[in-house]
């Protein structure tokens, strides 16, 4: 099994609905996110690659850019608050979950997995790792126990 990693960076803000740290749910705040995408294949393509890094960017770059300089808010916030934010901000993403790094990593995984399996069926998204800070990240991966036990 061959695995590659592609890194993307973006700036994003959010406000959590609930959290241990008051500043995270009482205040809009931002982070410099680093997204690590791990892709694998049992075989290499005609160029002896899992996939060219530029092709990965070409396939999912537009999607990743939707997160850049975006304000991500949960639909669980009061409607009147969300309406004001949407009115005065150009790039607001309303999600149906508390926008933690854990939940966003799963959301990003799902979309990227769909894009890549549609365009490159021999490639698997192993995991998505989303760094919210330089010292903390969350990752999402789907594990197939049988595949993991018997893989090369």
pLDDT tens-digit profile of 100-145? 999 999 999 999 999 999 999 899 999 999 999 999 999 999 886 4
Tokens standing for 19? 């959290």
Q: Whole-prediction pTM value?
A: 0.90
CA distance 89 to 77: 16
Domain count along the chain: 1
DSSP one-letter code for 142: -
Q: In the structure, what pLDDT confidence band is assigned to residue 30 with cuts at 50, 70 and 90? A: very high
SS3 120: coil
pLDDT above 80 (res 80): yes
For position 103, which CATH number holds?
A: 3.30.479.10
Q: What is the mean pLDDT of residues 93-101?
A: 98
Q: How far from each other are the two terminal CA atoms of the chain, in whole angstroms?
A: 6
- Give the domain range for residue 109: 2-150
CA distance 143 to 97: 23
């Amino acid at each position: 099994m061959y695995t590659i990693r592609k890194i993307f960076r973006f700036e994003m803000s959010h406000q959590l609905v609930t959290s241990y740290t008051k500043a995270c749910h009482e205040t809009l705040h931002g982070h410099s996110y680093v997204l690590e995408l791990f892709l694998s294949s049992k075989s290499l393509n005609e160029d002896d690659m899992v996939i060219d890094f530029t092709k990965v960017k070409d396939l999912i770059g537009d999607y990743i850019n939707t997160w850049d300089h975006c304000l991500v808010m949960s639909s669980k916030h009061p409607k009147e608050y969300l309406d004001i934010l949407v009115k005065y901000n150009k790039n607001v993403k309303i999600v149906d979950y508390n926008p933690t790094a854990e939940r966003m990593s799963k959301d990003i995984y799902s979309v990227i997995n769909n894009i890549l399996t549609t365009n490159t069926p021999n490639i698997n998204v192993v995991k998505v790792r989303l760094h919210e800070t330089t010292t903390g990240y969350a990752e999402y991966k789907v594990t197939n126990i049988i595949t993991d036990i018997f893989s090369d």
